[in-house]
Structure 1
């Protein structure tokens, strides 16, 4: 099916200009002025409107089980909301169960999404239990369309991995062109602070922040970066960087190349 969008203001990364745009299936086929309506099966008059590329959200958690509950949006409601906001592609997280496989996690999340999806999506896969077999799976992930792995340095006794898992995963990812993502916080220290806060009866929402101080994010960010460097300069993406110390560690790593 061919769709012609006429009279809109096209916005790119470099500039904006008024033009017509012809789409053939899922491909931009032609950009020009005064394109003939006969070129298309469907014509949209975008006079006074912006024509933008669809947004890409590379970090979502749809229909995710977590400590006895699930995140509120499933793949239909979450994607519907994304489309209303102009996001047309997102990358969700398939999480390995303890004793499970990475491919099994991807298959499980894919099956959950397949019947509900209304926009484009992909998956990262989160490693929680690294074995020799799982190490080999990292090398095989690109063949099934997954090019990124994630490790949590926090959430002790559920998602958190140790430094050996982190380092060995970085090594394998570096060898096979896989991007490593980390949730960078010092989970062990956070667990101590949480235990102390609960013992003192400090359960107000502010204690969520006070038990996860910026210094522990900065420390974990720097540790992940240094491990990735030693592991063969493994490409590393530090997700949701929230404090100055972590940002400075990332900036310094970029300067080092």
Structure 2
């Protein structure tokens, strides 16, 4: 059955106009004025609404064994939550540990999504070690349609790579045209600072940020840039939280390093005082790199507006407060790192970015959809509204007013870090390849229709 969306204000990363969109067989079949749908097909009147391309979250964790527990979401809850917020494609970090086989890890992560996800999905393949067997296995994974790797310069002895492994990963990525996403923190500095703070009796969640200060993150970025410069690999710095880290990447870019920068919605909206709340409430806001002092927010917004920062993701890593975050009572290093935010990213970016005049609508679409599609081998199938593109569309009601609450979110966690926050505007209709999956903020579609997206290596 076809779908006709009439009279919407279409906004992409570059264009803005009023038109109709006809969706047939999962694709955008026509764009124009006065389009007609075949008899019996659904017609949606989008007068007074924006129509955006489906949003892409390029950094999520759904299946995640981590710090002695597992992330709370599965693909059923996470994909429904993503869609409710207008995100139609997820790029998950596939993160087997150093002790696991990468091919087996890829198959495991894939099995958690196949036949379950309500939105489309793909993966960044983590390289947690690089031994004599790794290159052959990574080549096979790339042949399966994976066009991006992930390295951790943190979490020593679990996810973290040595410098030799980092060099080999980047050199292989350069050969294959794969972009390498990277978590940049100096793991030795983190370990030493954690030990010192704990020895001083500083054990609460408020000490998480001082154990991983901005210098630790900036040094990690500097480190990655040296290896990217030496190998010529294309790299993407994930969850950049502060001015020194952004500047480290920008300085390398000026030297000719092929680097792109991601930030995530918590760094644009929350500050370090949230993690300093008493009675262990601050544990709800522990993530790595940590949420920074408020002074960094304005810099990040400005860098996003100037496009020095390319993308806004979530680093969605959902853990319950009760029973999971509580594992770190008396020792902040045992608090599972991560915030649930896949459902709220787009609404927060629109409300506190577009509506506050920090970014315009084109930057909003570019950062939340188009750049991720371009960087990770999905454009123009995803990330834009064009003839032949997938009919992933968000009809957005700018007049909606509401509040965020764990009582009504689709995520599986027992709390929401944005509890009580007002939002202005939300998705009134969300489609995945022409199928309506969300109406008025509620999932009304089908589980399991999400497809694994095979990508081309373009770097």
Normalised by the length of structure 1, the TM-score is 0.94
- 1:239 is matched with which residue? 238
Alpha-carbon distance between aligned partners in 2 of 1:125 and 1:216, rounded to the nearest angstrom: 24
Alpha-carbon distance between aligned partners in 1 of 2:189 and 2:181, rounded to the nearest angstrom: 21
- 2:144 is matched with which residue? 144
Question: Does the 8 A contact of 1:128 with 1:160 survive in 2?
Answer: yes
Alpha-carbon distance between aligned partners in 1 of 2:72 and 2:143, rounded to the nearest angstrom: 31
Alignment of 1:157-196 (within 5 A): 157-196=157-196
- 1:100 is matched with which residue? 100
The number of residue pairs the alignment matches comes to: 256
- Gaps in structure 2 of 5+ consecutive residues: 257-459
> Alpha-carbon deviations, 1:157-211, whole Å to 9, x = none?
3211111111111111111111111100000111011112122221121210001
Greater relative contact order (CA < 8 Å, ≥ 6 in sequence): 2
Alpha-carbon distance between aligned partners in 1 of 2:64 and 2:140, rounded to the nearest angstrom: 24
Alpha-carbon distance between aligned partners in 2 of 1:130 and 1:106, rounded to the nearest angstrom: 16
Alpha-carbon distance between aligned partners in 1 of 2:142 and 2:224, rounded to the nearest angstrom: 23
Alignment of 1:1-257 (within 5 A): 1-38=1-38, 41-231=41-231, 233-257=232-256
**Bigger helix share:** 1
Q: Deviation at 1:56?
A: 0.6
Tell which deviates more after alignment, 46-55 or 138-147. 138-147
- What's the Cα RMSD here? 1.5
Alpha-carbon distance between aligned partners in 2 of 1:186 and 1:205, rounded to the nearest angstrom: 20
Alpha-carbon distance between aligned partners in 2 of 1:214 and 1:120, rounded to the nearest angstrom: 35
Alpha-carbon distance between aligned partners in 2 of 1:64 and 1:121, rounded to the nearest angstrom: 16
Detail structure 1 runs of 4+ shifted over 4 Å in the superposition: none
Q: Deviation at 1:18?
A: 1.6
Alpha-carbon distance between aligned partners in 1 of 2:40 and 2:152, rounded to the nearest angstrom: 48
Name the SS for the 2:53 alignment partner: coil
Instruction: Evaluate the alpha carbon distance shift between residue 132 and residue 40 of structure 1 in structure 2; reply closer, same or farther with a 3 A threshold.
Output: farther
> Alpha-carbon deviations, 1:14-56, whole Å to 9, x = none?
2322211101122111011111232772222222221110001
Alpha-carbon distance between aligned partners in 2 of 1:55 and 1:40, rounded to the nearest angstrom: 29
Alpha-carbon distance between aligned partners in 2 of 1:182 and 1:110, rounded to the nearest angstrom: 21
Question: Does the 8 A contact of 2:8 with 2:47 survive in 1?
Answer: yes
Alpha-carbon distance between aligned partners in 1 of 2:137 and 2:229, rounded to the nearest angstrom: 22
Alpha-carbon distance between aligned partners in 2 of 1:98 and 1:219, rounded to the nearest angstrom: 23
Alpha-carbon distance between aligned partners in 2 of 1:161 and 1:125, rounded to the nearest angstrom: 14
Question: Does the 8 A contact of 1:138 with 1:173 survive in 2?
Answer: no
Tell which deviates more after alignment, 35-44 or 238-247. 35-44
Name the SS for the 1:91 alignment partner: strand
Name the SS for the 1:195 alignment partner: helix
Q: Deviation at 1:115?
A: 3.4
Instruction: Evaluate the alpha carbon distance shift between residue 200 and residue 120 of structure 1 in structure 2; reply closer, same or farther with a 3 A threshold.
Output: same
